[in-house]
Amino acid sequence: MSEQLDSAAYYHIAYDAHTIMNPLGDERFLFLAEQCGLTSSSRVLDIGSGNGWSSLLLCRRFGCCSVQVDVSSQWTARARALFEREQCADRTEIHCMDAAAFHLEQDAFDLVLCLGTAPVYGGFAPALSALQPVLREGGCIIVGEPSAEGPLPRRYREYLDEFGWEIFDAKTLLRIIDDCGLEALMTLRSTRDEWDRYMGLQWKAISDRRHAVPGDAQLREFAEWARDEQEAYLRFQRHWVDWNVFLLRALR
């Protein structure tokens, strides 16, 4: 992979066909959310909300309101259009900004979503520490985080090191949850099919764009990156890395 590759531009194309932008399927995500007792008066904070799909699922199922924060103007525009199309724009607030700079109101939310976005706060532990205080009494966090039981193959460790990606084992994730004053109520691990679907949609979206605009140098570079990612995924990630979505509640 090229160090100069514009990863924001890459993911803007790669997630073009996704609904939820992480490997857990809609119904399994909703199963976790159902455990939170959400109602039409509940408030949800969605950190790194992407195209708005997760917040929309909650709004449709429970009638709750959401506050979405995402740094990308492309994704916040998508999310606005989605909520308008579904005629529930009055059930959400969408902020286009760096979530790390978003003022976190204390004791204000019944559910916080942090799906694939812990890096916004510098990692899993600082994300949980930052988000725990915003929970109302009995409120929950749904957080997605990868894990891997080592030792990982040397080649894959080198690959992760190259991008500064740190993947903890499950024991370390649970210790961090404890240390942040939270308890794990449930965790769902993405199935192989969910992982494959999530990755495959990215590769196909990159290829589709390249076919639509032949000869574009950046798209050629993106296609080469996708090819590298395919190899890392099929050789290593698919076998070694779990995508966990935890349902957490504050210990009072």
Ligand X SMILES: C[S@@+](CC[C@H](N)C(=O)[O-])C[C@H]1O[C@@H](n2cnc3c(N)ncnc32)[C@H](O)[C@@H]1O
Instruction: Based on the shown chain and the rule CB under 6 A, indicate whether residue 131 belongs to the binding site for ligand X.
Output: no
Interface stretch with ligand X, choices 49-57, 58-66, 193-201, 208-216 (CB under 6 A): 49-57
Instruction: Based on the shown chain and the rule CB under 6 A, indicate whether residue 120 belongs to the binding site for ligand X.
Output: yes
Contacts of 237 (CB under 8 A, 6+ apart): 156, 195
Q: Which is nearer to ligand X, 120 or 182 (CB)?
A: 120
Q: Which is nearer to ligand X, 72 or 187 (CB)?
A: 72
**Closest CA relative to residue 69, chosen from 96, 89, 92, 51:** 96
Instruction: Based on the shown chain and the rule CB under 6 A, indicate whether residue 23 belongs to the binding site for ligand X.
Output: no
Q: Which is nearer to ligand X, 65 or 99 (CB)?
A: 99
Task: Find the binder of ligand X among 23, 25, 48, 146 (CB under 6 A).
Answer: 48
Interface stretch with ligand X, choices 93-101, 123-131, 152-160, 227-235 (CB under 6 A): 93-101
Helix or strand run (H / E) with residue 221:
helix 217-232
DSSP 140: E
Task: Find the binder of ligand X among 25, 50, 139, 146 (CB under 6 A).
Answer: 50
Contacts of 126 (CB under 8 A, 6+ apart): 118
Instruction: Based on the shown chain and the rule CB under 6 A, indicate whether residue 188 belongs to the binding site for ligand X.
Output: no
Backbone angles phi, psi at 185, to 5 degrees: -85, -35
Instruction: Based on the shown chain and the rule CB under 6 A, indicate whether residue 243 belongs to the binding site for ligand X.
Output: no
Q: Provide the angle, in degrees to the nearest 10, between the axes of the packed helices 73-85 and 53-62.
A: 30
Residues 45/113, Cβ–Cβ less than 8 Å = yes
Which residues contact ligand X (rule: CB under 6 A)?
20-22, 48-50, 53-54, 69-72, 75, 98-100, 115-117, 120
